[in-house]
Amino acid sequence: MSDSPQPYRVLARKYRPRNFSELIGQDAMVQTLGNAIRRGRLAHAFLMTGVRGVGKTSTARLIAKALNCVGPDGQGGPTIDPCGLCEPCMAIGEGRHIDVLEMDAASHTGVDDIRSIIDIAGKGAYSARYKIYIIDEVHMLSRNAFNALLKTLEEPPEHVKFVLATTEVNKVPVTVLSRCQRFDLRRIPAELLAAHFAHVVEAESVAAEPDALALIAQAAEGSARDGLSILDQAIAHAEMGEGAPLVTAAQVRDMLGLSDRGATRRLLGLLLEGDTGVLLGAVRDQYALGVEPLSLMRGLLELVHAVTLVKAGRDIANPGQSAEEREALADWASQLGFAPLHRLWQLLLKGHDEVASAALPIESCEMALLRVMHAATMPDPGEIARLIREGAPAAAAPGEGDAAAPSSAPAATLPASFEELIEAFWQRGKGQLAQELHDCIGVVRYAAPELDYAPTPSLPSDFLARLTPALREVTGTAWRVNAVDGPAAPTLLEQEMRKAADARAEIMETPVVKAALAAFPDAELGDGLEQWSAER
């Protein structure tokens, strides 16, 4: 009778690291542990923290191997490179070593569970150099259980080592933290995950497109285990050809309900252009292809964030980013100011939260994007507040008003101040130029119809070419505009920021706030209090 085939092992278990060289993305921790082992400066308790799937429990088992390895000849000592061939290494790797005890604190939370550990800890190791206690999800222990563990954790017997693991280190008592050597395991970068997945598919005799692995790595959010689980699913989803299964980017997008990056860029372009009908049609097309509304909103958020980073001069190293995408990001960054980008981000973030909890997700997505489109052309709250104070007419929303409305006719007289000029631009629907005048212009001299200004580094290079004809259109008069060097007033954005900082400093000096901060040192001054102070 033939032997039954070995049961299938999921990739997350099959490719669990067997030594420290296979532990990806945690080089700093491995170096620290290696130095401690070589110098004989071993802590009696270790605490591993980090998000799910970054290797906390795997690292705990590797530490148990490193401390108990005796080498192939049985004469070796603790080492950062356990051989994997001696009996202790093999037994620990298979989870059957009598001196390496693992406890899941999520299901063993009581003081009696900890007392059983303490009782056994007093006895010597049976066959290993050290008795190792691995307590996973240690933050789940009860308060009494933590108290019972403290003394032993601080002064354990020489032959005992504790390795604690948790995803929520903030829930671990400070008294426990102070008794452990702490290692914060980092999220694994997407490029390292993609390279790791490439080795895995090669070992599994599976073909995969690089873009597919990059998508899986991004969806894993820094977790090797989550990424391997998604890869496992993608391999099962792949169609069998004449040779090995092929995992394609299109299949991964379809499996995860993701929008492709090109479609997301087109959607953002439509959003900025303000074409309502085409925008709604594109949203429905994506929905028909299986793209989840929440994924669509998230893709737009990621794209606006990427544009903002480019605007701030930060180079984004993304191996999955095409030359077309880089060009689009640079183009948007040159056209949009920081204020419109921040407004886009806030509006999209609000829409994302609404879609996440909506009974009608696609309808909520459409309404959220329409709100983004129309709000993007409106004055910011500071301009609206100024208009109300001065009694000036507000700019008409897109599609509102008739031919006699202020937003559809040139100004009767030239704006008396630079601020009024910006307001005239808002009223005529020239929001981008109005924002650039507000954010990026230091006025040297304003005497309508003449304007001398000092540009800031963030001002687009084609600003003057766009401003001159717009001034004639808005005011009905030809202007003389010059970019000059020399002393200039701060931009209006800088003035507002300085005023806000001064107001904040004034509030911080009030007795009530000082007393509150003294009573609650971790408290922070919120925007609401500053607004309340301004209103009073």
What pLDDT does residue 534 have? 46
The pLDDT, as a whole number, for residue 163 is: 92
Tell me the three state secondary structure of residue 403.
coil
Q: Which contiguous run of DSSP H or E holds residue 356?
A: helix 338-356
pLDDT band, very low/low/confident/very high, at 258 (cuts 50, 70, 90): low
Q: What is the pLDDT of residue 398?
A: 41
Please answer whether residues 25 and 59 qualify as being in contact, where contact means their C-beta atoms are separated by less than 8 angstroms. Answer: no
The confidence score (pLDDT) of residue 513 equals 67
Query: Could you count the other beta carbons within 10 Å of the beta carbon of residue 140?
Result: 17
Q: Which pLDDT belongs to residue 257?
A: 67
What is the pLDDT, as a whole number, of residue 390? 60
Which residues make Cβ contacts (< 8 Å) with residue 155, sequence separation at least 6? none
CB 82 within 8 A of CB 89: yes
pLDDT at 397: 42
- Name the band, by pLDDT with cuts 50, 70 and 90, for residue 301: very high
Higher pLDDT, 2 or 110: 110
**What sign does the dihedral 215-217-220-222 (CA atoms) show?**
negative
What local confidence, expressed as pLDDT, does residue 287 receive? 87
> In the predicted model, is pLDDT for residue 320 greater than 50?
yes
Question: What percentage of the chain reaches a pLDDT higher than 90?
Answer: 15
Residue by residue, DSSP assigns 44-111 as SEEEEE-STTSSHHHHHHHHHHHHH---TTS-----SS--S-SHHHHHHHTT--TTEEEEETTT--SH
Q: For 190-256, CATH number?
A: 1.10.8.60
pLDDT of 373 reads 83
Residue 444 phi, psi dihedral angles, 5° rounding: -95, -45
Topology of domain 11-184, per CATH?
Rossmann fold (3.40.50)
Residue 405: its pLDDT value, please?
33
For 334-392, what is each residue's pLDDT tens digit?
888 888 888 889 999 999 999 999 899 999 999 999 988 877 555 555 555 555 566 55
Q: Residue 16 to residues 100, 145, 233, 385: CA-CA distances in angstroms? A: 18, 30, 17, 59
pLDDT for 46 equals 92
Confidence of residue 409 (pLDDT cuts 50, 70, 90): very low
Write down the pLDDT at residue 12: 85
pLDDT band at 402 (very low <50, low <70, confident <90, very high): very low
pLDDT at 47: 92
* Residue 307 predicted with pLDDT over 60: yes
Cα separation, 434 vs 415, in Å, equals 14
Could you tell me the pLDDT band of residue 196, with boundaries at 50, 70 and 90?
very high
Provide the pLDDT for residue 321. Answer: 61
Sequence spans of domains, the chain:
11-184, 190-256, 275-375, 400-489, 493-535
Three-state SS across 175-213?
HHHCCCEEEECCCCCHHHHHHHHHHHHHHCCCEECHHHH
pLDDT given for residue 259 in this prediction: 62
pLDDT at 478 over 70: yes
Ranges 41-50, 322-331, 473-482: which has the least confidence: 322-331
Give the containing element (helix H, strand E) for 161: strand 160-166
- Identical fold at 11-184 and 190-256? no
Q: What is the mean pLDDT of residues 416-426?
A: 90
Q: Give yes or no for a contact between 111 and 142, defined as CB atoms under 8 angstroms apart.
A: yes
Going by the DSSP 8-state scheme, the letter that residue 415 receives in this structure is -
Residue 427: pLDDT band (50, 70, 90) is: confident
Q: Which of 272-281, 367-376, 389-398, 494-503 has the lowest mean pLDDT?
A: 389-398
- Pick 250 or 296 by higher pLDDT: 296
410 pLDDT exceeds 60? no
pLDDT of 251 above 60 = yes
CATH assignment of 275-375? 1.20.272.10
Task: Give the highest mean pLDDT range of 65-69, 120-124, 323-327.
Answer: 65-69
